[in-house]
Amino acid sequence: MEKRLKTLLFLLVSGWVVGCHPHSTNNNHSMMNNNAATNNATSSSSAAAVPANPMDDKGIGPVKSVELGPIQPELVKKGEQLFNEQCTACHRIDSRYIGPALKGVTKRQSPEWIMNMILNPDVMIQQDPIAKQLVSESNGAVMANLHLSEDQARALLEYFRSIDDTISSK
Ligand code: HEC
């Protein structure tokens, strides 16, 4: 964070120096135009981006709809095991690590989105507005594609559901 701030400051200062260079009147103009273009691009892409209700975002990937019933303990157990084997390199349940804390994820994102994020992270972080935002919140670290099956992703979803239900019933 502090590093990014320093980089930003550096860019601002060096931009200022270029802008004040006596021979750079034209450059200065084109710089301003560039800035305007960048701002437009940013605002139009974010306008088309994150849906008002994140639960409306099903993500991009193989999972189009998930039927959720009562929590299935067998599936939870399978999901927990997978989580401990494959995900703890980057995730904790209760706190941010390389990636976001996963507590509460089923309240933030739709079940389809969660499974698509697990199964198809490469495309999600390029194209899905919520996933793109998470990348910037993770200082550019990206979610790994662990090439899991749909059944494994479903078990992980069940594990996250079980955690979030525990919390809400406390
Ligand atoms: C190499 C590190 C890494 C591994 C391994 C990893 N993730 Fe992630 N994950 C991330 C990062 C970083 C993000 C935030 C999005 C981004 O920057 O790509 C993320 C985002 C997520 C999200 C969205 C979180 C939210 O708040 O909406 C879910 C769900 C998720 N990961 C699940 C998993 C599961 C399940 C596994 C194991 C199968 C896993 N991840 C393995 C790094 C990782």
Run means of pLDDT, 10 residues per run, the chain, 170 residues: 51 42 42 41 48 92 96 98 98 97 97 98 97 95 97 98 75
Task: Please report the pLDDT score of residue 51 as a whole number.
Answer: 84
Please say whether the dihedral angle defined by the alpha carbons of residues 124, 126, 127 and 128, taken in this order, is positive or negative. Answer: positive
Mutate to test the pocket of ligand 1, among 50, 80, 86, 90 (most ligand atoms within 8 A of CB): 90
CA distance 90 to 145: 12
Task: Please report the pLDDT score of residue 84 as a whole number.
Answer: 98
Query: How much distance in Å is there from the Cα of 150 to the middle of ligand 1?
Result: 16
Please say whether the dihedral angle defined by the alpha carbons of residues 39, 42, 44 and 47, taken in this order, is positive or negative. Answer: negative
Task: Please report the pLDDT score of residue 4 as a whole number.
Answer: 59
Q: Which residues line ligand 1 (CB under 6 A)?
A: 86-87, 89-91, 98-100, 102, 105, 108-109, 114, 117-118, 125, 131, 134-135, 138, 141-144, 146, 148, 156
Task: Please report the pLDDT score of residue 6 as a whole number.
Answer: 53
CA distance 109 to 64: 14
